[in-house]
Structure 1
């Protein structure tokens, strides 16, 4: 991902509170638009980097289940 895109996405949400961040995530997922995927990726990167090892394991477990159910 282009570093400028990452910075732009972070700048767009930098002043958002928890409820606004949640609304952004829900909107991006519900819209199903491909153009929203980079933004979700940047947000996931932030979540991943701020998570403990046990939280990462929990996310990976949920991701594995989601991938299995998507097929």
Structure 2
């Protein structure tokens, strides 16, 4: 029996309000704990799937700029 981390994370955050999502992101960034990275990854995946082509381009640009310096 395998454990699907992505499904577990989705079950945990599904239905969260915008404020709850923001609090989760801020908490993960401020605490800098490695264990929060999979959750952020799943949240990014949700964002990516919901984004338009233009929004995806903007996200890639923002990430690329952030990695420059």
Alignment TM-score, normalising by the size of structure 2: 0.92
- RMSD after superposition: 1.4
1:1-71 alignment runs, 5 A limit = 4-69=4-69
Give every structure 1 segment of 4 or more consecutive aligned residues whose post-TM-superposition deviation is greater than 4 Å: none
> Is there any run of 5+ residues in structure 2 with no aligned partner, and where?
none
Aligned residue for 1:16, secondary structure, equals: coil
Q: Any stretches of 5+ residues in structure 1 without a counterpart? A: none
What is the count of residue pairs matched by the alignment? 68
Counterpart CA distance in 1 for 2:34 and 2:41 is 12
Distance in 2 between residues matched to 1:59 and 1:5, nearest whole Å: 24
If the length of structure 1 is used for normalisation, what is the TM-score?
A: 0.89
